[in-house]
Amino acid sequence: MNEISYDDWEKLKLKIGAVVKVERIPKTENLYNLQVTLEMGKKSKL
């Protein structure tokens, strides 16, 4: 397993979210459109 330096660790921006909706993208095997709620109800698509 690789390790990272503390300086690199400080650069990370971790967020907690909840998956609201998942849709399979047509004509793909393992690709999904995720709708996630982050930061006080703000929705993002991944």
Helix (H) or strand (E) holding 38: strand 32-38
Alpha-carbon 11 to chain mean position: 17
pLDDT tops 90 at residue 2: no
CB 21 within 8 A of CB 35: yes
Pull the structure tokens for residue 45: 């698509």
Domain presence at residue 23? yes
Entry pTM: 0.50
Domain presence at residue 7? no
End-to-end CA distance of the chain: 27
Domain presence at residue 20? yes
Query: Tens of pLDDT along 10-41?
Result: 999 888 888 889 999 999 999 999 988 887 66
Domain presence at residue 25? yes
Pull the structure tokens for residue 19: 């998956």
pLDDT tops 70 at residue 46: no
Which pLDDT score is estimated for 39? 72
Which pLDDT score is estimated for 42? 64
Domain presence at residue 37? yes
The count of structural domains within the chain is 1
Which pLDDT score is estimated for 15? 82
Q: Which domain holds residue 22?
A: 15-45
